[in-house]
Amino acid sequence: MTIEARGDIPVVKALFDAARAARECAHAPYSRFKVGAALLDEQGRIHAGCNVENAAYPQGVCAEAGALSALVLAGGTRLQAVLVVGAGDKLCTPCGGCRQKLREFGADTLPVLIADPTGLRAQFTLGELLPESFGPDHLDTPAPEARP
């Protein structure tokens, strides 16, 4: 079932608005490819992030990673939805590294919505983007407890 089919249109709009606003703050002087991401946590809060490039290219940060840092800082532990905004003819889906980072906090069924600055273009589940993924449930350790 898609996030829209569950009646979450106001949530999708809030995620889109947050990701689009974050994208405008991106620091992308080298690629000129700005990306914004917004995450919905288990408490219904939205956490946004933007890509931050660095002259030493491997040292940059993806929008999804920045949003995940904001989620953790706020005490969030589980993802309910992800929305990524990027421009261009092709879909701006999370990179492989970000897919794995999202997996740390999200299930295979996690909705991952893809948009450009004008609106939604596609929706996937994390399981579709990262099939047969490795995650916390593979490790023989107790799950981290939520912080107060």
Tens digits of per-residue pLDDT, 26-42?
Answer: 999 999 999 999 999 99
Predicted confidence at residue 58, as pLDDT, reads 86
Q: Which of 4, 42, 64, 128 is catalytic?
A: 64
Q: Is 104 one of the catalytic residues?
A: no
Contact 42, 80 (CB under 8 A): yes
Residue with the bigger pLDDT between 85 and 2: it is 85
Model confidence pTM above 0.85: yes
